[in-house]
Structure 1
Amino acid sequence: MSNDRLIYLPLGGAGEVGMNTYVYGYGPKNRERLIVVDLGVTFPDMDGTPGVDLIMADIAWLEARRDRIEGIFITHAHEDHVGGLGHLWSRLRVPVYARDFTARIAAKKMLEAGQPVDQIVTLDTSETIELGPFQVRFLPIAHSLPEASAMLIETPAGRLVHTGDFKLDMAPGVGDPFDEDLYRSIGDKGVDVMVCDSTNIFSPHPGRSESSLPQAITDLVRGAPGLVVATTFASNVARVRTLAKAARAAGRSVCLLGRAMQTMVRTATEAKLLVDFPPTVPAEEAVDMPRDKVMLIVTGSQGERRAASAQLSRGSYLGFQLKEGDTFLFSSMTIPGNEKDVLKIVNALSEQGVEVADNTQGQYHVSGHANRPDLERMHDLVRPRILIPMHGEHRHLRQHAMLAQRRGMASAIAPNGTMLDITGRDPVVAEYVDTGRLYLDGTAVYGALDGIVRERMKLALNGLVMVTLIIDEDGLPMGDAWADCMGLAREGRSKRPLAEVIEDELAEELERTGKKVLASDDKLIEALRKRVRICCVDEIGKKPEVTVVVSRLSD
């Protein structure tokens, strides 16, 4: 009897939307050969991660087992699946496999991070690659960008389908339509485990096709009197095409604004996926054209502060200024957590007299994820023995697991860090792995437990007082200490400048400080820090962060 086991381990993307990072393993316990599926990112917010650029799964568990990893597979080119590749590849250093469009985007990520692009291997959906105990094939599937892929993973312990992100769209406009016959045929051969997208489990109606949007968008653009601006996900090339064709049908020229938007359209064109995209005009030409003859398609549908949408809402971008009578279309959904940032843009546009159209009535956007009836259809086609929900918050995973069990499949909830043994008839929790988050902060990458973001939040919440003191060759203060206050009220209860009040308090403290304390940096710093915090509580009711710099001339 074999002691080998088949395992599934999410390090990101299970219990949250974003940061997808999944691991499959087969072999003897603790010696399994491994493959990684996706290395994605999620995005920070000013409340919990101020100043951070990107958030990625902590792959320390994988890094410690790097010699057992056969390869990395990227299912599609959304940031929450490929965005971490360039930043994390150097910790794993194994080949990366993707379909053509995804491989092109992955190569850009690697190049930007200074990593070797020759490590990216392009696979076609007709190819099966054998890596250790795994035979892996990409399966075409419909989503909200070209060449999204599910995966068929065959092992000595059974056959798995990893759906990736998907929808049942027979006419997506750009990219692969959903192929029922393909997935039925895979189910006919027997599938032991399906690890399945859960994002829209709570949506009770069948999902709509991308082909249902052009007429409504064209009518909106045709009826707009002034400049029209539309924003959507840059990666949703089919939607960008729909918007551009609507503009042309309404007699408008098309201008793409935002690096990501231009990159995605150019990449899809190079990959021969976008063969009928309308001609565009550069920004410097469009800005001089009549307002009712131009449509801008811009980045920033999620309220990103530096994207074109936000900059237009704040005043101007590349010479364009919005005014009363213009129309701004959000042809997108707002990802949970981004509502506040999007509403800031909507309100700023409203103050300028701009007419804002969104998907409140379901006219201008369709989801890229399968709704509950579509998930049930996928269950019926593939007919797995075990269904493991992924890609969703805990409530999504739980609801999907309950649905699977009601429909006769074994199931288990596996949030990030939960390793499942999926060798037998039922999934069993094998162990729990420490997992967490890595922050990209400028060019530095560090862990959530390093305390850097926590310190930054304390500074943001409490303000900072910087105290400087010089000690002479005799070990005595050389003049008074001085204080610089940042992020604090200028005056307190005494109606005097806060820095002056602090400096007076420090002078009193130093007058009564003995030589023993003056001779010890640690004791002196602690005494001055304590006095500053007490002073600030009395004056302004806050305890700021306090940094004390002691310079000794004797040194």
Structure 2
Amino acid sequence: MTDPFKPGIDELLFLPLGGSGEIGMNLNLYGHDGKWLMLDLGISFGDDSMPGVDVVMPNPQFIAERAQDLVGIVLTHAHEDHIGAVPYLWQKFRCPLYATPFTASVLRRKLAEVGLEKEARITIIPMSGSREIGPFTVELITLTHSIPEPNAVVIRTRHGAVLHTGDWKLDPAPLVGETTDVAALRRLGDGGVLAMICDSTNVFVSGTSGSEADVRRSLMDVVGRLKNRVAIGCFASNLARVETIARVAEAHGRHCALIGRSLWRMLESAQENGYLTDLPRFVTEHDVGYFPRENVLMICTGSQGEPRSALTRIARGEHPHVSLEAGDAAIFSSRVIPGNEISINRLHNDLIRRGVEVITDHDEDVHVSGHPARDELAEMYQMVRPRIALPVHGEARHIQEHVSFARQCQVPEALAPENGTLIRLAPGPAEIIARVPAGRLALDGKALVPADSEAIRHRHRLSFNGVIMASLVVDAGGRMLAPAQVSLEGLLESEDAAKAIARIGKAIADAIDELPKAKRSDDAELGEAARLAARRWYQKAFDKKPVTKIHVIRV
């Protein structure tokens, strides 16, 4: 069968399957001359709408069905929302992986956790390097971000150059890694750029994002004023922040401890590639208790209030080795990711109840973003001067604002991509030519299921509405041989539940007695009559509509 979406030799296509209309879960495809190239394959995290789900990722069905035409996956940098789905989804493609040395080190550890380290081979592209991948020539341009080795990717075809920025900012003093290769960006712009696919996270933020050097100065001052044990929450991947905190600890005569396995794994990857090799030895969580409280500075995972993270367990008094007490301090050196406000506020309150002082970026300058604010976006457009702007890495409101901003920056064409919009970049004006299937997969235990699957929707209803379950034992004619066995889950306290169970049992018996004889001989009819009777009684009594399940046992 002919593939209607197979890219022609005379066209260049762009297709986001994740990260357009949301922050996280990046998956972007470029199509040309019968082949596809993927940039990034990331995850996001579950929320209250998906109970029991911690990890969410793009549904790659479109490209999985065309895996034979996928020439490779290029990873812009090592953040979870750009590489986190590779261990879960790579077997659907089994294609080459391309990354810089540090990103490859981080990814190898992830692949090893699922037993794919030998099968999923990673080809290293050095910083500022290039590679021929199928009909695409890929070149890397060094940028700055909150992790080592972030790269913009230049994709060259016969139709010209496309700049895919990945995540970036313009930081004159990133402290870890190189500064942005402004000269390369200017050369690219001078040579002509067909399109720029660009980060939209901070498009509403005026000015610049600030420098990591500014955070170091501020943390030096803040920690210097604190007298007891201090914990600093930050992202494990923000190695510039980790180095800053280690230097702050050293300056104030404190031992720096890493609390959380992901911090140790990230440190190992960094040191394999020559980063953070000249710092004092970090203390483990097992040894923290041996030092006086005023001589410890801890770096902790869990700044977003993740349920099983180090900071959350410390705040609840559940961590086996580490504690915070009245008079101690917790500094949150990270941004609030949209959707995490409730869990972060809960974490703050748990700490405050223990008498811990909580310090955030609203109180002190303890964090800068890794994404460009408006002045940086304007400077990037001035350097690159693309014909087409395609904002990604943002919610719908970010992307629409970025389209407007790009036009203010004199970009001739600007479109607002959504996941599943197939966009022709060349030839001719950029335009959306089709919409293809896009969606989300949820990691439910060890299984990958559609995020909108019946199982997850049903679990969500259960979490809000509770459940009534009843078992009926009837004879061949549908007469009840014993009272219905009814149980309530997530609905009432025990004393009220006992009364409700008795009345629900009676409502079920009455409904079955009133059922015509022919329907009583049909399990489905009998079960549905019992279900409606139980649910209607509960709705009338308590104005709620619980999920109701009936089991019919005929003897």
Q: TM-score, normalised by structure 1?
A: 0.94
Q: Does 1:444 align with 2:464?
A: no
Q: Of the candidates 239, 242, 250, which is equivalent to residue 240 of structure 1?
A: 242
- Mapped to 1, the partners of 2:514 and 2:421 lie a distance apart of 58
Alpha-carbon distance, 1:516 to partner: 2.5
Instruction: Check conservation: 1:138, 1:151, Cα contact below 8 A.
Output: yes
DSSP-derived class of the 1:364 partner: coil
Letter paired with 1:213 = V
RMSD: 1.9
Aligned pairs for 1:380-529 within 5 A? 380-409=382-411, 410-424=413-427, 426-472=429-475, 476-490=479-493, 497-529=499-531
Alpha-carbon distance, 1:238 to partner: 0.8
Q: Of the candidates 308, 320, 344, which is equivalent to residue 310 of structure 2?
A: 308
DSSP-derived class of the 1:36 partner: strand
Aligned pairs for 1:101-140 within 5 A? 101-117=102-118, 118-140=120-142
Aligned pairs for 1:65-464 within 5 A? 65-117=66-118, 118-361=120-363, 363-409=365-411, 410-424=413-427, 426-464=429-467
**Number of residue pairs matched by the alignment:** 546
Q: Of the candidates 4, 21, 38, which is equivalent to residue 15 of structure 1?
A: 21
Greater CA drift, 532-541 or 71-80: 532-541
DSSP-derived class of the 1:543 partner: coil
Q: 1:497-541 CA distances to partner (integer Å, 9 max, x unpaired)?
A: 222221222233344445433321111110110111112123322
Letter paired with 1:227 = R
Instruction: Check conservation: 2:488, 2:497, Cα contact below 8 A.
Output: no
Instruction: Check conservation: 1:489, 1:540, Cα contact below 8 A.
Output: no
- Mapped to 2, the partners of 1:533 and 1:50 lie a distance apart of 24
- Describe the shift of the 1:383–1:237 C-alpha distance in structure 2 as closer, same or farther (beyond 3 A): same
Q: 1:232-256 CA distances to partner (integer Å, 9 max, x unpaired)?
A: 0110011011111111211111111
DSSP-derived class of the 2:193 partner: coil
Letter paired with 1:434 = P
- Mapped to 1, the partners of 2:364 and 2:378 lie a distance apart of 22
Alpha-carbon distance, 1:288 to partner: 2.9
Instruction: Check conservation: 2:152, 2:166, Cα contact below 8 A.
Output: yes
Letter paired with 1:388 = L
DSSP-derived class of the 1:284 partner: coil
Greater CA drift, 379-388 or 247-256: 379-388
DSSP-derived class of the 1:422 partner: strand
Q: Does 1:51 align with 2:57?
A: no
DSSP-derived class of the 1:377 partner: helix
Letter paired with 2:103 = T
DSSP-derived class of the 1:340 partner: helix
Percent identity over the alignment is 37
Alpha-carbon distance, 1:81 to partner: 0.7
Alpha-carbon distance, 1:352 to partner: 1.7
Q: 1:152-183 CA distances to partner (integer Å, 9 max, x unpaired)?
A: 11111111111100011122111221121121
Instruction: Check conservation: 2:480, 2:509, Cα contact below 8 A.
Output: no
- Describe the shift of the 1:355–1:490 C-alpha distance in structure 2 as closer, same or farther (beyond 3 A): closer
DSSP-derived class of the 2:51 partner: coil
Instruction: Check conservation: 1:202, 1:372, Cα contact below 8 A.
Output: yes
Letter paired with 1:292 = E
Q: 1:361-382 CA distances to partner (integer Å, 9 max, x unpaired)?
A: 5611111011111111111222
Alpha-carbon distance, 1:441 to partner: 0.9
Contiguous gaps of at least 5 residues in structure 1: none
Greater CA drift, 518-527 or 316-325: 316-325
- Partner residue in 1 for 2:37: 35
DSSP-derived class of the 1:38 partner: strand
Alpha-carbon distance, 1:7 to partner: 0.8
- Mapped to 1, the partners of 2:433 and 2:462 lie a distance apart of 41
Letter paired with 1:408 = Q
Q: 1:313-350 CA distances to partner (integer Å, 9 max, x unpaired)?
A: 11241232222211110011111111121111112212
Alpha-carbon distance, 1:434 to partner: 2.4
- Mapped to 1, the partners of 2:544 and 2:493 lie a distance apart of 13
Q: TM-score, normalised by structure 2?
A: 0.94
Instruction: Check conservation: 2:128, 2:139, Cα contact below 8 A.
Output: yes
Greater CA drift, 284-293 or 468-477: 468-477
- Mapped to 1, the partners of 2:552 and 2:117 lie a distance apart of 47
Greater CA drift, 103-112 or 494-503: 494-503
- Mapped to 2, the partners of 1:401 and 1:82 lie a distance apart of 26
DSSP-derived class of the 2:362 partner: coil
- Partner residue in 2 for 1:6: 12
Alpha-carbon distance, 1:412 to partner: 1.2
- Mapped to 2, the partners of 1:45 and 1:397 lie a distance apart of 22
- Mapped to 2, the partners of 1:438 and 1:221 lie a distance apart of 42
Alpha-carbon distance, 1:226 to partner: 1.1
- Mapped to 2, the partners of 1:497 and 1:373 lie a distance apart of 65
Greater CA drift, 539-548 or 521-530: 539-548
Q: 1:202-257 CA distances to partner (integer Å, 9 max, x unpaired)?
A: 22112321112222212222221111000101100110111111112111111111
